[in-house]
Amino acid sequence: TSGTINVTGNNNTVFVIGEQAKADGLENFNINVTPGMTLTLVDIQNNDFSYNGTIANLGAESTLIYGRNAEVGFGENAKITSDAERVTGLVTTEKKAVNKGEMILTGEHSTGIYTERAAAVNEGKLTIGARGIGIYNKGACVLNSGFI
């Protein structure tokens, strides 16, 4: 499944995925965001999710994929771009966050991958702006075979 989702409002969550929910077919959508709007692409719990599309124009304090006890990631074709402050690409606890795509987060204080008690893996490309963090990991391992 593929297509385009246009997000025009502020503080939206595009997908909420719970335990035992089927997340197939959601990974290839392209998301158009009204410039400056805050967005969460996926809020996922007790499940796994990988996104393989493109997103640009994210507003300050956006978090693309937020997982709890979830394996989350960006696939090889994912391209995430933002020049807003405090944008985070992948966040998870307990399992793993994997970036195989390209994140260009040039706004101050932005973070590519943030994990707690979960592995952080970068096989893609992370471009981070001033006072930003490529990978933040607390309580687990970090593997980087990509570029930061």
Four-residue CA torsion sign, 118, 5, 12, 45: negative
Q: What is the mean pLDDT of the chain?
A: 90
The pLDDT of residue 20: 75
Half-sphere exposure of 75 (CA within 13 A, CB side): 12
Distance CA 138, CA 103 (A): 21
The pLDDT of residue 39: 86
Both structure tokens of 134 = 């490529």
Residue predicted with more confidence, 1 or 23: 23
On whether the CB atoms of residues 83 and 58 are closer than 8 A, the answer is no
Residue predicted with more confidence, 106 or 18: 106
pLDDT digits (tens, 9 = 90+) for 15-59: 888 887 776 666 667 788 888 888 898 999 999 889 888 888 888
Which residue in 67, 126, 124, 139 sits closest to 97, CA to CA?
A: 67
Both structure tokens of 79 = 């391209």
Residue 141 has pLDDT above 70, yes or no: yes
Distance CA 23, CA 17 (A): 7
Give pTM, 2 decimals. Answer: 0.91
